[in-house]
Amino acid sequence: MAHSTDSVFINLGPVHPSTHGVFRMRAHIDGEVITDIEPVFGYLHRGIEKLAEGKSYRQVIPLTDRLDYVASMNNNLAYCMAVEKLAGIEVPERAVYIRVIMAELQRIISHLLGIGSFFNDMGTFFTPFFYMFIQKEKITDLLEMVSGQRLLFNYMRFGGVSHDLPDPFLPALSQFLREMPAEIDKYERLLKENEIVLARSRNVGVLSREMAINSSISGPVLRASGVNWDIRKADPYSCYDRFDFDVPTGSNGDCYDRYRVRIEELRQSLRILEQAVSKLPKGKVINPVPLRFKPPVGEAYSHIEGNKGELGFYIVSDGSDKPYRMHVRAPSLLNLSALREMLIGWKLADAIIIFGSIDICLGEVDR
């Protein structure tokens, strides 16, 4: 005998651990099936883009740390590259390589936490997360050596980096590069063929290639849908065109593929780091820039392959020592644009996993 049910409205968030911050989903469910959903943003609006208009160009760098608090180095890099493009500032070769090393270490941190929290959402209750957190802490130790901080790393400067690498850094990094491949193998043995993982993530939350492209999605979420697009290859910056690495892609665009792409990107980041360390040139690490320098009147846009996708900064100069306008092309925001289409028709328990597989940071969404 069939039973009819009424559609029920339910709030997920804005204060809930499974929404990865102050994110809210207004869901309409029929039984346990999602019939419609509305993502709601704006609970963490910080006004970073507006604050930048009242600060000198150099004072804006610490604001970028806070866009994505597990991607500080990458945020610094993208902003500094935009200002350097605007003002025609050159970067010494050694600093170019050091920037790549910092960016790839930060990418590994982000992917480890993204994968670990994804499996928490699936109900693994912290075991994979803590395995990954152990290695994340080793990288944090490395980045603390150069920045003095353990979360909001601040190291990039216009024209290079704030100072050279300390003596213990390269030996410690080399040891990490020797140990990390075996750790990734351990994650694979634990998770790759796990029957619960396969049942909960394969063919769940499928994002088609066409929908991903039309929604301007980027990063691992785009590549999991089968699109071979990585700015480090498509529009190389720094010295990425001198390194040999692959761009992992998926085929189904489901939650499982998004997890698999991030795992493979860990291996590619290790390849890049090994090459960057072996080719690291000697020399100075910064071309000094005046503390309150004034770029010429104009505008510039610069983008990088951030941890979560294309991270870009658009800056307009009126000739003063402060940006006239700054806008951030934040991948986390755009990667959420197809969330509704990915969730409708799935059960409420699946919604948590699908949302977690996108791997967002609310600081970058609301800015």
Domain count for the chain, please give it. Answer: 1
Largest distance between two CA atoms of the chain: 79
Q: Could you list the residue range(s) of the whole structural domain that residue 306 is in? A: 7-366
Judge whether 2 lies within some domain.
Answer: no
Tokens found for residue 366: 């609301």
Judge whether 38 lies within some domain.
Answer: yes
Q: Residue 155 is which amino acid?
A: Y
Domain of residue 23, CATH code: 1.10.645.10
Which residues contact residue 176 at a Cβ distance below 8 angstroms, ignoring those fewer than 6 apart? 138, 139, 142
User: Which of 125, 136, 143 has the alpha carbon at shortest distance from 65?
Assistant: 143
pLDDT of residue 2: 61
Question: pLDDT truncated to tens, each residue of the chain (367 aa)?
Answer: 566 667 888 888 787 777 787 889 899 998 889 999 998 888 888 899 999 999 999 999 999 989 998 999 999 999 999 999 999 999 999 999 999 999 999 999 999 999 999 999 888 878 889 999 999 999 999 999 999 999 899 999 999 999 999 999 999 999 999 999 999 999 999 999 999 999 999 999 999 999 999 999 999 999 999 999 999 999 999 999 999 999 999 999 999 999 999 999 999 999 999 999 999 999 999 999 998 899 999 999 999 999 999 999 999 999 999 999 999 999 999 999 999 999 999 999 899 999 999 999 888 998 8
- The 8-class DSSP code of residue 325 comes to E
Distances 98 to 58, 93, 157, 161 between C-alpha atoms, Å? 20, 9, 12, 8
Judge whether 303 lies within some domain.
Answer: yes
Q: Give the DSSP H/E element, type plus range, for residue 107.
A: helix 93-122
Cα separation, 23 vs 25, whole angstroms: 7
Supply φ then ψ for residue 41, to 5 degrees.
-105, 175
- Dihedral, 68, 73, 75, 80 alpha carbons, nearest 10: 160
Judge whether 1 lies within some domain.
Answer: no
Judge whether 294 lies within some domain.
Answer: yes
Burial class, 312, CB count within 10 angstroms (exposed 0-12 / middle 13-18 / buried 19+) = buried
User: Which of 210, 216, 221, 240 has the alpha carbon at shortest distance from 103?
Assistant: 240
Q: Is the distance from CB of 160 to CB of 91 less than 8 angstroms?
A: yes
Judge whether 319 lies within some domain.
Answer: yes
pLDDT of residue 353: 93
pLDDT of residue 12: 86
Judge whether 241 lies within some domain.
Answer: yes
pLDDT of residue 41: 84
pLDDT of residue 219: 95
